[in-house]
Amino acid sequence: MLPDPTIQAFIWAHRLDDPQRIALSARKYPDVPVAYVAGQIDFLQKIQKKVPSWYRQGLRFPAAISMEQASSEATAEFKTTLVRGGKMADLTGGLGVDSSFFARKFQSITYVEPNAELLEITRHNFEALGIDNATLVCATAEDFLQNTTETFDLLYLDPSRRHTHKGKVFQLQDCGPNILEIKQLALEKAPMILLKTAPMLDISLAAHHLGSVSNIWVVASGDECREVLYLIERSPTPFPEINVHAVLLEKDGAVRDVHFTYGEEQQTGVDYALPQQFLYEPNPAVLKAGAFRAFAGRFGLKKLHQHTHLYTSEAFVPDIPGRCFSIEAVCKYDRKAVQALIPAGKANVSTRNFPDNAEAVRKKLSLSDGGEVYVFAFTDVEERKVIAVCRKI
């Protein structure tokens, strides 16, 4: 078999090739471990999209680990803007993406990972990336906390969402390690814990279960909510005073943050109205964070219905963190009425607080998907099921 540097050079030279085709080329490359190489090329192609700064020759990747839970470069970079200090420990090291970015902001980091093979791969990658302030420890988070005599400025956890018996999970008590079981011990080792969870978890319920949460960041990029971060501290923060940040990471590196507290959300008054000249759809982070009333109050918008999370205004409001549309017409939920407004029969369909989903609406209205027209099906303030025909601003 070829020596490792030669194999690494082969991987890099073929980094744009189809991994499946490489896997079937054993006869063409008799001295190359084609199954291993194909797996590395596949991982490298995924890394290029998710963590571009890791797209380089010489890195190694584990054979059996999903990229799904690993942080993207944008979200890992964002985390480093939230906390900093002298020492931190990543108790769920994994692929090491978050650790590699935290290493830029902390004087020293400790990477904790129970899988010895994965740990050695990370050691190699950290050396290749020039990370020289990391200590790597092969242990579970629970054992590390029990045995370490060190204290830290921050502990970071991204518990595994793969359960031995339940499969893919997201509830706190089902993830590993169980933050609810180790929280008190962790807070003895550090004054702050930064916890990452899946977006599908109920945020306010999780905050109640965790206790002593001071800040929550709901992070979205593109049109998808990516992760939720909780800052847990030793001193409890009353629930109404928890700071919630709905964060949108723009493609150009800009960060849009709609900040509110649960108390503000409960106390903000909202005006309701029928659709006016403009329609606004908040970005996914705002919707997931639950800033329904605070969003309207912050930007001076009217809401279309208590449970319809769409907003309207007579005059255009710029710099809204979400999609903005001009309303061309509003009509009843009827095929003939809509076809008269959209003779081309093509539109992008969305629903809010509506009995039918987008696919069912599209079918009933005989619309094909796409084009420059946007159709919103929703319940208005008068409890009518209506259609707004819009164009994006």
Domain check: are 202 and 289 in the same one?
Answer: no
By the 8 A CB rule, do 247 and 218 touch? yes
Q: How far is CA 233 from CA 197, 210, 214, 265, in A?
A: 17, 10, 7, 23
* CATH classification of the domain holding 99: 3.40.50.150
Distance CA 268, CA 225 (A): 25
Specify the length of the chain in residues.
Answer: 393
Is residue 379 domain-resident? Answer: yes
Domain check: are 192 and 283 in the same one?
Answer: no
For 115-169, write each residue's pLDDT tens digit: 999 999 999 999 999 999 999 999 999 999 999 999 999 999 999 876 655 667 6
pLDDT at 68: 79
Is residue 361 domain-resident? Answer: yes
For 33-66, write each residue's pLDDT tens digit: 999 999 999 999 999 999 999 999 999 999 877 7
Q: Is 387 left (phi over 0), alpha (psi -120 to 50) or beta?
A: beta
DSSP state at residue 54? G
Domain check: are 258 and 280 in the same one?
Answer: no
pLDDT at 84: 86
Is residue 344 domain-resident? Answer: yes
pLDDT mean over 174-184: 94
Q: Is the peptide bond before 159 cis (omega within 30 degrees of 0)?
A: no
Domain check: are 226 and 89 in the same one?
Answer: yes
In the predicted model, is pLDDT for residue 264 greater than 90? yes
Is residue 61 domain-resident? Answer: no
pLDDT at 1: 54
| 3-state DSSP of 92-156 | CCCCCHHHHHHCCCEEEEEEECCCHHHHHHHHHHHHHHCCCCEEEECCCHHHHHHHCCCCCCEEE
pLDDT at 63: 82
Is residue 311 domain-resident? Answer: yes
In the predicted model, is pLDDT for residue 350 greater than 60? yes
SS3 content of the chain, % helix, strand, coil (to 5): 35, 30, 35
Is residue 342 domain-resident? Answer: yes
pLDDT mean over 383-388: 98
pLDDT mean over 110-114: 97
- Give 251: exposed, middle or buried? Use CB within 10 Å, 0-12, 13-18, 19+: exposed
Q: Which domain holds residue 24?
A: 4-54
pLDDT at 3: 66
pLDDT at 4: 84
The last residue of one of the domains, among 262, 282, 308, is 262
Query: Between 76 and 67, whose confidence is greater?
Result: 76
Distance CA 364, CA 341 (A): 15
Domain check: are 283 and 200 in the same one?
Answer: no
Domain check: are 248 and 311 in the same one?
Answer: no
- Into how many domains does the chain fold? 3
Please state which of the ranges 56-70, 95-109, 199-213, 364-378 shows the lowest mean pLDDT: 56-70
In the predicted model, is pLDDT for residue 360 greater than 80? yes
Is residue 114 domain-resident? Answer: yes
Domain check: are 101 and 162 in the same one?
Answer: yes
The last residue of one of the domains, among 262, 297, 328, is 262
Classified as helix, coil or strand, 332 is: strand
pLDDT at 267: 95
Domain check: are 248 and 285 in the same one?
Answer: no
Domain check: are 237 and 323 in the same one?
Answer: no
Domain check: are 378 and 233 in the same one?
Answer: no
For 284-296, write each residue's pLDDT tens digit: 999 999 999 999 9
What residues have CB less than 8 Å from 364, skipping those under 6 apart? 333, 335, 356
* 101: its two tokens: 């970015």
* CATH classification of the domain holding 286: 3.30.2130
* 292: its two tokens: 């329904």
pLDDT at 223: 84
Domain check: are 9 and 129 in the same one?
Answer: no
Domain check: are 40 and 147 in the same one?
Answer: no
